[in-house]
Structure 1
Amino acid sequence: MVFDDIVIGAGSAGAVLAARLSEDPDRQVLLIEAGPDYPTAQQTPVGVLATRRVPFDHDWGYTAEVVPGRRAPYPRGRLTGGSSAVNAALALRGLPEDYDEWALKGNDEWGWNALLPVFRQIEDDPAGDPAFHGTGGPTPVQRTPENQLTPVHAAFLRTCLGLGHPFTADHNAPDSTGAGPGPANERDGIRISTSLAYLSKARSRPNLTIRTGCVTDRVLLSGTRVTGVGFECDGVREQAAGRRVTLAAGAVGSPAILLRSGIGPAGELAALGIEVAADLPGVGTNLLDHAQLALSLTPPAGPADAAAPYWQTVLQWTAPGSADRNDMQSLLIHQVAQPALRLATSLMRPHSCGVLRLADRSPHTPPDIQLNLASDPEDIRRLTEGLRHLCTLAASPELAAHHDGTATFDDGQVLPVANLSERFADPDSATEHIQRTVSHYVHLVGGARMGPDSDPEAVVDQRCRVRGIEGLRVADASVMPDIPRANTHLTCVVIGERVAAWIRAEQ
């Protein structure tokens, strides 16, 4: 069989894309996913379903160089639903100015006014203002009412308000800032991944074929025309023929598949013995992730409550001296492991940029991810402000009743909470601590960014068509020309919806 459309990756964008394309009964669609498939909520492991914890047992096993010389695990979901099935279920949109900046970079179909109807289309948020929220969509959005916050999350909210941050009832309102209950893509404690939200309604269609447990090696080409994909399933090499192929394997997987297919920087491909099909120097470059600092607090009562919500409230704020609104985000996370309470502050508008490179030609060899976090001076300055804010949060009277007075940092350093502000008052001390402990937020974007012909590092045009290769698209976080000031899941869903609509309109 020759499929009309082959989609690689069943994650936040790929599951959406395959479901929407298969709505056309005459279109034969193949969806290929490397991980296992759980067709229904009843067949899904409890650890994957429950939003009270983030599971790590359906993972690719990647690592990333966070800063030069220091590597850390880089979790990515390997199952239908992708990382949407294992994330923290924080359903945030980017700010309007994030998407308007995409438009200013030559992608005028991605401005806020163009995307708002799609954000409304994908959600079921009956509590939201109908001017910028939708109901009846596949993705439920819920917030915990203030009177149902657990004591520690209520204390975190009071702490934020006491520091002068305004209260916000809706973090997805275009002009929102401050602290309040966070939006979650969940229903009754169940994480609603794109597998549950989109594929569950599409599985019965005879024109949709889902292959799982299959690792994609490369796209197949005849000259500069895509003809299908090569993949490996249970150790057996296979090929599937297709008129169109869309990579939706994420900001790690999609650039790696492009490179193995001979699409990327010609010099690097030649050094690996890969025949060059399209010399696109931007493949694997322009990687961005939100940089995160954190500390952990031990509750005085002993072991953590395994039934406690993972998070409930969110703080969005602007670093002093920053020109970018809401360039910081803070959360209190209730973990099962000790120390149980984790305070995290993330830089949501980073300038530091990384790269992804192949180690060899094998699809089973993880690519080399170099995040290069905290390399930009302005990032270090704002992370220093974030570190000081983190220390202020930890030392607040509201949270004092919920910990034993000590803070544990990710490098193992244990300090009295009362001394934290003094410990990092010196800028050099703060910078040294940032370089030693900064981590990622697992929100990787870039590696195949969209842009106009005038952008020499653009890999796809604004309709996500790969330059120089007919019939090939990329539709996932890798095409983002900059990172939104938000967790990236909802934006990836919008990318899947938008690209599916364009493919259907073109054919």
Structure 2
Amino acid sequence: MRPDAVLPARADVIIVGGGTAGCVLASRLSEDPRVSVLLVEAGRDHLPGHEPDDIMDSFPRAATPGHLWPGLTAERRPGQPPRPFEQARVVGGGSSVMGMLAMRGLPADYDGWAAAGAEGWGWADVLPYFRRLERDLDFGGPAHGREGPLPVRRHPPESWPPFCRAVTAAAARQGLPLAGDLNDDASDGIYPVPMNNSARHRVSAATAYLDAAVRTRPNLIIAARCSVTAIRLRERRAVGVDVVRDGAARAVEAGEVILSAGAIHSPALLLRSGIGPGLAIDRPGVGADLQNHPLLPLSVVLRRDAVQPPDVRPAFQNCLRYSSGHPGTPAADMFVTILNKTGLHPLGRRIGGLMLAVYGSFSRGSVSLDPATGTPRIGFDLLGDERDEARLAGAVRFAAALLADEEVRRTADQPFFPINGALVQRLSRPEPASRIVNRLATAMLDAPALLRGWAVGVAGPPLRTLLDDEERLHRFVRENAVPTGHVCGTCRMGSDEAAVVDGRLRVRGVAGLRVVDASVMPAIVRANTNIPVVMIAEKAADIIKGERT
């Protein structure tokens, strides 16, 4: 169906949000020709074979403003001014713009969900859906699927570029072994990064689940550039949605409404519809328990002979999982992505780095509504839990030890924190002036040490300036940790009174309404969240089909 499809008066199922979960649900639920499905997306849709180059590129990000929610900001820590926060607004959602890492998380993550009251969501319950979604090109056996719509592939160690190989060797000298399958091993070690793409192209949820054949189904309508402003309720039952398209408002009736707008916009839509703490339908957990992985990027200047070969386009080659050992924290709670390039431009090919992240995070924030505009107000309280701050500061020292290794120093030097965001963005722009500045900055990397150090210092402070003062290190981490795109938890699944949805993803106290996206996660998983969201949507589709049968 074309992106300019006419909105119907009614659909059996209305899916609000064409992101990762929405694409999966639209595909799976429309497999039954008796069920009419309407997928509503605020952003644009791109027909198969007509996707923009930046979305299709296998390099990590497609953060073009046209693919993102305009004007969205978030408060990282209380007292800090809100800063722009990127969330996808395009069919495919985060899978169309983010990093393409195909990670599941650990079995203990899902067993923890079940223990916390999410009945039916333990590891044994979700593993069949992880297998269903994937076409693993490297591993088989009972842990993996070989026929799913999403390819999962890895770069073998013998193909890793120089900096990645050197960090691997340094980590091995610290007791972290080379391992193979990040999706079937809970141990600490160095792994190839599992990716859901091909060597040259992204494979988003839109590409995999809404292909040309699926779009010909007469019972499926994909309505892009349509904003849902509220859920229509009648006697505590969802009966449709209010939609605005090109400035014109209209109502569409539904047999069932499914929110798949993500952990920011799904709770915001519930709140705007009178469902939330102290509202007409009092659900105290709506918008609470906002979770994310705090991250701190650490860059290095690559020596000329350590530059990644130009025929290897993706940035992610290998990664490192380790246990912090901090009191009160789980094993395998830390994650480091190793980058042998950070951009496709000349400067990006000379800058590598380590992305330091707490993947077993505990801090909690919230999503509420701005009373003046009705738009989401996001407060992460990133590192609000002392354990998160301590572990991220510890990750800096862990990274410093790796970068001090003699083999690593033969491939890279001048480690620094790239906190000058305005400069980084300017150097990455495609216009002629930025390209000239980019090339000049690249040339500075081969200047004498003093001049090179000055140039690096413009982008951010050197690592060495933080290692002799623990208080200064913690303050720097608090002020400069950034939220990833792994937002979740704001419509938490569970059986207690604060839970927003039950184990069948039905909004408690409202008939005909479900939430199916990352917002239902009871606790953040130790992984990037896109593949777990695909799993959630696959399982949800089976639940819904089972109820209809």
What range describes the TM-score normalised by the shorter chain of this pair?
over 0.9
Match of 1:271 in 2: none
CA offsets 1:367-426 (integer angstroms, 9 cap, x no match): 111000111111122112112112223333333233342423426893999984673243
Match of 1:389 in 2: 398
Contact 1:223–1:277, Cα closer than 8 Å, also in 2: no
| Structure 2: gaps of 5 or more residues | 1-8, 422-455
Give 2:62's aligned amino acid: P
Contact 2:420–2:460, Cα closer than 8 Å, also in 1: no
CA offsets 1:49-107 (integer angstroms, 9 cap, x no match): 11214111111132211112333332111111000111111100110000000000111
Match of 1:240 in 2: 252
Moved more, 486-495 or 413-422: 413-422
Give 1:44's aligned amino acid: E
CA distance in 2, matches of 1:434, 1:446: 24
Match of 2:491 in 1: 448
Contact 2:263–2:489, Cα closer than 8 Å, also in 1: yes
Contact 1:320–1:385, Cα closer than 8 Å, also in 2: no
Cα 1:174–1:152 shift into 2, 3 Å: closer
Match of 1:481 in 2: 522
CA distance in 2, matches of 1:464, 1:24: 20
Contact 1:476–1:495, Cα closer than 8 Å, also in 2: yes
Match of 1:116 in 2: 127
2:383 to 354, 374, 378: 374
Pairing 1:291–2:294 present: yes
Contact 1:92–1:488, Cα closer than 8 Å, also in 2: yes
1:103-182 to 2 correspondences below 5 Å: 103-182=114-193
Match of 2:264 in 1: 252
Pairing 1:431–2:474 present: yes
Match of 2:79 in 1: 69
Match of 2:26 in 1: 18
Cα 1:117–1:79 shift into 2, 3 Å: same
1:315 to 303, 316, 320: 320
CA offsets 1:236-256 (integer angstroms, 9 cap, x no match): 112211010000000011001
Match of 2:536 in 1: 495
Match of 1:52 in 2: 59
CA distance in 2, matches of 1:229, 1:399: 56
Pairing 1:280–2:283 present: yes
SS at match of 1:298: strand
Give 2:492's aligned amino acid: R
Match of 1:360 in 2: 371
Match of 2:453 in 1: none
Give 2:332's aligned amino acid: N
Match of 1:460 in 2: 501
CA distance in 2, matches of 1:37, 1:400: 46
CA distance in 1, matches of 2:223, 2:38: 7
How many angstroms does 1:332 deviate by?
Answer: 2.2
Give 2:324's aligned amino acid: A
How many angstroms does 1:288 deviate by?
Answer: 0.5
CA distance in 1, matches of 2:540, 2:334: 30
CA distance in 2, matches of 1:156, 1:202: 44
CA distance in 1, matches of 2:171, 2:145: 29
Q: Between Structure 1 and Structure 2, which shows a larger proportion of helix residues? A: 2
CA offsets 1:116-173 (integer angstroms, 9 cap, x no match): 1111111001421412011010111000112222223223322322332111111001
SS at match of 2:191: strand
How many angstroms does 1:306 deviate by?
Answer: 7.0
**Percent of matched pairs sharing the same residue:** 37
Cα 1:419–1:396 shift into 2, 3 Å: farther
CA distance in 2, matches of 1:72, 1:419: 24
Contact 2:322–2:332, Cα closer than 8 Å, also in 1: yes
CA distance in 2, matches of 1:257, 1:289: 20
How many angstroms does 1:305 deviate by?
Answer: 7.6
Contact 2:288–2:366, Cα closer than 8 Å, also in 1: yes
Cα 1:121–1:389 shift into 2, 3 Å: same
1:342 to 353, 372, 383: 353
CA distance in 2, matches of 1:65, 1:306: 38
Give 1:31's aligned amino acid: L
SS at match of 1:245: strand
CA offsets 1:151-205 (integer angstroms, 9 cap, x no match): 2322332232233211111100143431121100012321111101111142110
2:411 to 402, 415, 418: 402
CA distance in 2, matches of 1:398, 1:465: 54
Match of 2:427 in 1: none
How many angstroms does 1:300 deviate by?
Answer: 4.2
Count of residue pairs the alignment pairs up? 493
Cα 1:417–1:2 shift into 2, 3 Å: closer
Give 2:122's aligned amino acid: G
Pairing 1:228–2:231 present: no
Give 1:17's aligned amino acid: L
CA distance in 2, matches of 1:418, 1:237: 51
SS at match of 2:412: coil
CA distance in 2, matches of 1:232, 1:398: 58
CA offsets 1:440-471 (integer angstroms, 9 cap, x no match): 1210001110110xx23201111110011110
Match of 1:203 in 2: 215
Give 1:254's aligned amino acid: S
CA distance in 1, matches of 2:235, 2:355: 49
SS at match of 2:183: coil
CA distance in 2, matches of 1:353, 1:497: 27
2:100 to 54, 74, 89: 89
SS at match of 1:220: strand
How many angstroms does 1:314 deviate by?
Answer: 1.0
Contact 1:405–1:418, Cα closer than 8 Å, also in 2: no
Match of 1:272 in 2: none
User: What TM-score do the two structures reach when normalised by structure 1?
Assistant: 0.92
Contact 2:103–2:529, Cα closer than 8 Å, also in 1: yes
Contact 1:143–1:183, Cα closer than 8 Å, also in 2: yes
Moved more, 303-312 or 128-137: 303-312
CA distance in 2, matches of 1:193, 1:82: 8
CA offsets 1:206-262 (integer angstroms, 9 cap, x no match): 000000011111110112111101111112112211010000000011001100000
Give 2:22's aligned amino acid: G
Match of 1:472 in 2: 513
Give 2:31's aligned amino acid: E
How many angstroms does 1:321 deviate by?
Answer: 3.2
How many angstroms does 1:361 deviate by?
Answer: 7.0
CA distance in 1, matches of 2:163, 2:538: 38
